[in-house]
């Protein structure tokens, strides 16, 4: 005899879903799709047969990972920029030394006429040191 209680239990058992164990690549794909607004969490859960709570966990986990990657890339960028600044400062000093030597040898003070005031002052200081 099928009672109402037996029907409810059997219907509930049919609704219980077995979820797929998602690979790393699938997790990243789902998180990217949701983050880019291409699919909702509910639609992704149904389409890829994973739980919404798992998707929430992956979103938290991968957003932290992406933030770390951004920080690391910013650190690398800062290192490159600092190195470039050092290179440019060396070039500037070298050029100022050449201008100062030229002005000492020729007596023609072109830096005051053609360069910005700050640079002209720096060249003048180098010229005084060299004499």
Which domain covers residue 92, as residue numbers?
A: 19-130
Q: Tell me the average confidence (pLDDT) per consecutive run of 10 residues in the chain, 131 residues long.
A: 52 56 87 87 92 89 72 80 96 94 91 90 89 77
- Sequence-ordered list of residues with C-beta below 8 angstroms from that of 103, at least 6 positions apart, any chain: 109, 110, 111, 123, 127
Q: Is residue 1 part of a domain?
A: no
Domain count, the chain: 1
Please report whether residue 31 resides in a domain.
yes
Residues 6+ apart with CB under 8 A from 22: 30, 48, 50, 54
pLDDT at 22: 81
| Assigned domain for 59 exists | yes
- Structural domain includes residue 10: no
Q: In this structure, is residue 23 part of a structural domain? A: yes
- Is residue 4 one of the residues assigned to a domain? no
Residue 97 pLDDT: 93
């Amino acid at each position: 005899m099928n009672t109402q209680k037996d029907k409810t239990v059997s219907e509930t058992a049919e609704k219980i879903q077995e979820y797929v164990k998602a690979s790393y690549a699938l997790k990243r794909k789902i998180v990217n799709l949701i983050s880019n607004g291409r699919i909702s969490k509910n639609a992704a859960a149904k389409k890829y047969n994973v739980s919404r709570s798992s998707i929430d966990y992956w979103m938290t986990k991968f957003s932290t990972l992406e933030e770390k990657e951004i920080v690391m890339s910013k650190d690398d960028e800062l290192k490159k920029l600092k190195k470039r600044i050092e290179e440019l400062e060396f070039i500037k000093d070298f050029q100022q030394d050449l201008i100062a030597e030229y002005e000492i040898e020729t007596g023609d003070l072109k830096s005051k006429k053609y360069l910005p005031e700050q640079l002209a002052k720096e060249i003048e200081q180098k010229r005084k040191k060299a004499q």
